[in-house]
Amino acid sequence: MLDYSDLLTKPTRTRLDKRLRADQPGLSWARVRAAIERGQVTVNGAVERDPGADVLSTATVVFDVNRPAVRPARSRFGRLYEDEHILVIDKPAGLLTIPVDKDDGASEDTVLSRVREYMDRRRGPGGYVGTLHRLDRDTSGALALALTREAHEAGRAQFGRHEFHRQYMALVEGVPSPAIGTIDAPVAEGYTAGRRRLAHPGEAGIPAITHYVVRQAYGSGAALVELTLDTGRQHQIRLHMQHIGHPVLGDRVYGTPEGAEAAARQMLHAWTLSFPHPITGVRVSVEAPPPDDFIRMRARMRGWR
């Protein structure tokens, strides 16, 4: 098992979004994060717009619904590939792919809104942007978007035919055994309060297949795992790793309480992405290097004993 003693000795710090949700249980996770990002939450009197900011339990956290919402600042994103029809970015953790609030999507900070602003600057207003697939908010890495309607239509059809080859890396609780395996467990249709589940025996479900390879096992009882998807279901990797008893570190939805507290976000990164260009047919292949927080977490696990 993982040794979390060094973390549990500091129980007075928590993420701002988690603290606000505990203080305001009537708010959804989406509303909590939106309020923070819009500058409607203060910590000890100062506006804090980072949902993942660490706050002490003694800090005064105030949500003021009457505080004028500020349009979130759009931080830059790394471009891994770009042409007239396709853009592949390196999505940072903590950023939604598309808006949660359809009625207020223009002010919500998402991949879609950032890329639209970027394309407005490049090509002028009124250009087309559409997502070809999605990544969870707290998953980082390679994400493809279409910059023309024809590329979007063709690209979505390719994704539906499973022509997008994707590899992920994850830091997980425990060490999967065997070290190489395939998880074939259908995902149930339902989606409740931000959670999905696997289909029960005999229940109709959506096919979901994940292949994994343990790349490094740590003395702390954790592992670096490489994952390849045959299918692309929402929360598929997180559900499948929970299913085999090795949830992703930092996963507050599907992980154990200890594992959830071990990292500021789920340690899941979309490492490589490869697919036929929807217009030219030439293969597009990119690699997104792991972000700093992933590298730091991996270094910490090497040092745990």
Q: 3-state DSSP call for residue 94?
A: coil
The backbone torsions φ and ψ at residue 62, rounded to the nearest 5 degrees and listed phi first, read -125, 130
Angstrom distance (rounded) from CA 155 to CA 158: 5
Quick one: which of 130, 128, 111, 110 has its CA closest to 119?
128
Token pair 């040794």 in the structure block, residue: 3
Q: What is the spatial distance between Cα 201 and Cα 273, in angstroms, rounded to a whole number?
A: 33
Alpha-helical regions (H) of 96-192: 111-123, 149-160
* Given the residues 17, 136, 251, 293, the one annotated as active site: 136
CA 161/CA 231 separation, integer angstroms = 9
Q: Which residues contact 34 (CB under 8 A, 6 or more apart)?
A: 100, 101, 104, 108
CA count, 13 A, side-chain hemisphere, 291: 19
Is-contact 254 238, C-beta < 8 A? yes
Q: Helix axis angle, 29-37 relative to 16-23, nearest 10°?
A: 120
The residues that bridge with 89 in the sheet, in sequence order, are: 79, 143
Q: Is 136 a catalytic residue?
A: yes
Catalytic residues: 136
